[in-house]
Amino acid sequence: MAFSAIFEMAGSEARITLEGELDASVADQFRQTVEHAAQDKPQKLILFMDKLQFMASAGLRVLVFAKQRMGRDVAIYVIGATGPVLNTMQMSGFHQAVYLQESYP
Amino acid sequence: MDTRIDFYPTHQHQGYKLRPGRPVPFGATLVPGGVNFAICSRYATSCTLVLFEKGAATPLVEIPFPEVFRIGNTWCMVVFDLDYERIEYGYRMEGPWDPGVGHRFDSTKILLDPYAKSIGGRDVWGKPPDWNDPYPHRARLIFEDFDWEDDRPLETPLADLVIYELHTRSFTQHASASVKHPGTYAGLMAKIPYLKELGVNCVELMPIFEFDEFENSRPNPVTGETMYNYWGYSTVGFFAPKAGYAATGPLGMQVDEFKNLVKELHRNGIEIILDVVFNHTAEGNEHGPTLSFRGIDNQTYYMLTPEGYYFNFSGCGNTLNCNNPIVRMMVLDCLRYWAAEYHIDGFRFDLAAILGRDPWGAPMPNPPLLESLAFDPILAKCKLIAEAWDAGGLYQVGSFPAYGRWAEWNGKYRDDIRRFLKGDEGMVPALAQRLQGSPDLYGWNRRGPTASINFITCHDGFTLYDQFAYSQKHNEANGEQNRDGGDDNHSWNCGVEGETDDLEVNVLRQRMIKNALAILLMSHGVPMILMGDEVGRTQRGNNNTYCHDNDLNWFDWSLLERHTDLFHFARQMIAFRKTHSLLRAREHFGLSSTQADFIWHGVHAWNADWSPGSRTLAFLLRERQAGQGGNTNPVLYMALNAYWDALPFQLPELPVNYHWHLFANTALTSPQDIYEPGHEVPLEPYQGSFLVGGRAVVILVGRP
């Protein structure tokens, strides 16, 4: 399934909806989306991952980048991550750096 | 990576953009727009970078280093626009093939970078490899962007450590472990609550540098089961965590997973020490594979005989030439990397006596490698622990060149305590030394008790349960007709060899295990417990399980239910040690009023029996001023009876207003065998003696 990362601002929240498979070939596309979001200086970054099927280490690298790019004051929420995507975050410890939630209002 | 306008390509090769690289750091380093590759060889005449698409059988491209890219003996080159996630790299080296003088260059081989930080090829433990792969262990690139938050090495004082030696796969591979990712770093992380409950504050991991479990793998002649290089004491890459131990190994994320484990251990107050094997490599002798060092610079990396053969001080075919300046630099770079990038708290050096040999094998009085490690500013707070002997006969327990920094696995502690426990005569004087942190070994040069890593069992040899269940080794499963493994186990089967239904024998075995744990945790020095000894783990009498990927090595977690009493005993003993600073002395012999002071007793108070026939000893451990001038700190008393009958031990007099309280009595069964620290049971007033059971120990606390 083709990867897509769709960004929108909702008030002070940057929302990115991820779909498909996030591997090395598309990681830069995700990275640019995060860069784009960071320019609006959001207070929260909400990553919707319920339709993300797979995340390779390259995808995780972008999440780490997002955390560093946004700064400590910007809370990152990962919404709806399941299966291998959730596993990848848990085993690499990234789940501790974000708020994992099943849904987001 | 950000692009920089002053960092541009100057050369090209088959469309790949290049420029001269930087000679340091060695290895592959991400730089703006590309990757800096740097590798050195004293005797190579040329070098070629070989790039693969991840997992591909044939190279993507081979890029010879232009001669102008060589600085001294170092080839360095930046290659631009590489897909970091998808490439693997190696080298070909041209140079002389002249084994008689130590040169074994072979440009048909693709060689692993000694500084590779991530290595593919054995991504899933035990998955049979492609034996025809021209490049079986493949260097990969990594990002060093792990989010450590505020983590850093814990710097727990050595005297306060309780070390737990474990094998990463064995700890959680058994089905009874009930973890989501058995046998992995993630699995170990899931068991951190258990380690906390037990009370240990340091784990020592058997080798986790990348190794090949298939090295010398073979079918078991009896069972047909594959026997592996299971323990991993044979390094392929010193800078890379073992991918097959990572649940994320197939994703190439072992670096993140291992760092996460370290961070979680630290978050729970547990240090991590790595067992590192710098004495030899996985390349074996002249009949072994050429994976890396042999083809890069054989004469530099290995100790060679005058005829060009491999010295074998390791017992594993070759010996790393650690006091060659290039190798020394690699070892130092490696440990600095693990300390700085992985926040590792310390290192235990396998067969460390080898590290003090010169390139011709002779022991040096002032080995530069050991000195460098001792005084290195990045390793300054890391624990450095030597296994102070080697397979070439060099035994340096008590005399290892320490520079005020090195501690040692105290093999004499192990042997003396084992012999006292089994009832050998003439062991009481040695026992007294070991209880005090071995001042006979470490007092002469003021190294203190923390120079002594006290252990009764470790991965080599019997488990603690087997120590009292087998008088002989039973290594038939290793396929060598029981010839392998040591014969000097000082073990005793308590009357029946192996498993038995005899209740009396089993009760005695449990008591002997408790005796051992009690002595270990009451001794000055740093205690180390072998994985599973706290629940009676057995290897069924096998004292050399290096090759078994099965329940001979795996931790059977159902033992925790079957031996709840043992676990409870071990947990309370650890808690007792943590409660009483008297047990965690920093120096031998208390000269100041607040330091621990041993006062020896025996069956008769103030009259220890040091004679050859003695099997009893008791001691009082106290601050010199305890009970005087407002000092109300407790005093501790331990009576050790290795005699087979119960003996009354006359108790020494306590300071005024102090009373005896019973903390542990191994002659009793659970729950009367031990109490929670602070909740010890008071003895009868004026009780002047204590009947200590045969082959039992008693621990009392004297306090107001």
Structure-token pair, residue B259: 């760092």
The residues facing A47 across adjacent strands are A16, A78
Closest-CA residue to B236 (of B411, B86, B111) = B111
Nearest to A61 among B145, B246, B263 (CB): B145
Q: Count how many pairs of residues, chain A against chain B, have C-beta atoms within 8 Å.
A: 59
pTM of the model: 0.95
Q: Assess contact for B560 and B176: CB atoms under 8 A.
A: no
Sign of the C-alpha dihedral, residues B242, B244, B248, B252? positive
What CA–CA distance (Å, rounded) separates B241 from B332? 17
Q: Residue A64 is nearest to which of B84, B147, B263, comparing CB atoms?
A: B147
Residues in B touching A54 (Cβ below 8 Å): none
Chain A neighbors of B251, CB-CB under 8 A: 56-57, 88
Residue B6: pLDDT band with limits 50, 70, 90: low
**Residue B604 CB neighbours (<10 A):** 15
Choose the closest CB to A92 out of B84, B85, B248: B248
Is-catalytic flag, B501?
no
Closest in B143, B186, B246 to A61, CB measured: B143
| Whether B253 and A27 lie within 8 Å, measured CB to CB | no
Q: Closest partner residue to A92 among B83, B84, B260, by Cβ?
A: B260
* CB contact (8 A) between residue B86 and residue A24: yes
Contact flag B260-A61 (C-beta cutoff 8 Å)? no
> DSSP letters of B452-511?
EEEES--SSS--HHHHTT-SS---GGGTSTT-SS-S------TTSSS----HHHHHHHHH
Interchain CB contact of A95 with B (< 8 Å): no
Question: Rounded CA gap, B207 and B236, in Å?
Answer: 11
From chain B, the residues in CB contact with A57 under 8 A are 85, 248, 251-253, 256
Are the beta carbons of A67 and B147 separated by less than 8 Å? yes
Residue with structure tokens 């396929």?
A: B479
Helix (H, G, I), strand (E, B) or coil at B599: strand
Q: State the pLDDT at residue A24.
A: 81
Question: Alpha-carbon torsion A7, A8, A12, A15, what sign?
Answer: negative
Report the pLDDT value the prediction gives residue B1, as an integer from 0 to 100.
44
* B200-215 per-position pLDDT tens digit: 999 999 999 999 999 9
CB contact under 8 A, A90 and B256: no
Determine the residue of chain B that is closest to A24 in CA distance. B85
| Cβ-based contacts of A91 with chain B (< 8 Å) | 181, 185-186, 246-248, 253, 256-257, 260
B186 vs A65: CB contact, 8 Å cut-off?
Answer: no
Q: Are B80 and B17 in contact (CB under 8 A)?
A: yes
Q: Please give the pLDDT value at position B507.
A: 97
Instruction: Indicate the average pLDDT of chain B.
Output: 95
Most confident of A95-99, B143-147, B221-225, B316-320: B316-320
- Interface pTM (ipTM) of the complex? 0.80
| Percentage above 90 pLDDT, chain B | 90
* Cα B292-B296-B297 angle, rounded to 5 deg: 120
Find the helix packing angle between B428-435 and B411-422, rounded to 10°: 130
Helix (H, G, I), strand (E, B) or coil at A75: strand
**Residue B36 confidence (pLDDT) above 60:** yes
Q: Give the orientation angle of helix B254-267 with respect to helix B325-342, to 10 degrees.
A: 60
Tell me whether residues B253 and A57 touch, CB distance under 8 A.
yes
CA distance B658 to B660: 7
Residues 6+ apart with CB under 8 A from A71: none
Q: Where are the beta strands (DSSP E) in B141-278?
A: 163-166, 202-205, 209-211, 218-219, 226-227, 235-241, 271-276
> What is the pairing mode between strands B616-623 and B596-601?
antiparallel
For residue range A28-66, list pLDDT tens digits in order: 899 999 999 999 999 999 999 999 998 888 888 898 888
Residue reference for tokens 């700190």: B633
Which residues have CB under 8 Å from B258's CB, separation 6+? B185, B208, B241, B245, B246, B342
Tokens of B271: 């240090």
pLDDT of residue B217: 95
Residues of A (27-86) whose Cβ lies below 8 Å from B: 27, 56-58, 60-61, 64-65, 67-68
Tokens of B422: 């089994």
Q: Report yes or no: B298 and B103 within 8 Å, Cβ to Cβ.
A: yes
Q: How far is A58 from chain B (nearest CA, A)?
A: 7
3-state SS, residue B328? helix
Asked if A94 and B251 come within 8 Å (Cβ–Cβ), the reply is no
Minimal C-alpha gap between B147 and chain A (Å): 7
AA identity, residue B437: G
Please answer yes or no on whether B85 and A24 come within 8 Å at the CB atom. yes
Q: Do A93 and B85 touch (CB under 8 A)?
A: no
Determine the 3-state secondary structure of B242 from DSSP: coil
Residue type, B425: E
My answer on whether omega of the bond before B136 falls inside 30° of 0, hence cis, is no
Active site annotation includes B350: yes
Across chain A, what does the average pLDDT equal?
A: 91
Q: Which among B165, B387, B587, B673 is annotated as catalytic?
A: B387
pLDDT of A64 reads 85
Q: How far apart are CA B278 and CA B239, in angstroms?
A: 12
Give the pair of three-digit tokens for residue B210: 């990348």
Question: Which of B188, B253, B342, B343 is the best substitution to test chain A (most A C-beta atoms within 10 A)?
Answer: B253
Please name the member of A67, A88, A93 whose beta carbon is closest to the beta carbon of B251: A88
Minimum-distance CB partner of B181 among A56, A57, A91: A91
Three-state secondary-structure class, residue B320: strand
User: Residue B87's closest chain A neighbor by CA?
Assistant: A24
Q: What is the pLDDT of residues B578-599, one digit of tens each?
A: 999 999 999 887 656 567 789 9
Q: Per residue in B267-278, pLDDT tens? A: 999 999 999 999
Q: pLDDT tens digits, residue range B624-649?
A: 888 888 888 999 999 999 999 999 99
Per-residue pLDDT of B90-137, as tens digits, reads: 999 999 999 999 999 999 999 999 999 999 999 999 999 999 999 999
Structure tokens at B48: 């070629």
Rounded Cα–Cα distance for residues B394 and B354 (Å): 8
Exposed, middle or buried: residue B223 (CB in 10 Å: 0-12, 13-18, 19+)? Answer: exposed
- Residues of chain B neighbouring A65 (CB-CB closer than 8 A): 145
Residue B5 predicted with pLDDT over 70 = no
Q: What is the largest CA-CA distance in chain A?
A: 34
Among the listed residues B123, B350, B466, B533, the single catalytic one is B350
Look at B251 and A56 and tell me if their CB atoms are within 8 Å.
Answer: yes
Q: Chain A contacts of B252, Cβ < 8 Å?
A: 57
The pLDDT tens digits of the residues spanning A73-87 come to 899 999 999 888 998
Say if the Cβ atoms of B147 and A97 lie within 8 Å.
Answer: yes
Q: Dump pLDDT digits (tens) for B404-426.
A: 999 999 999 999 999 999 999 99
Helix/strand/coil for B392: coil
Residue B698: pLDDT band (50, 70, 90) is very high
Q: Which two tokens stand for residue B334?
A: 């490696």
Does B83 contact A24 at a Cβ distance shorter than 8 Å?
yes
A4 inside 8 A of chain B by CB = no
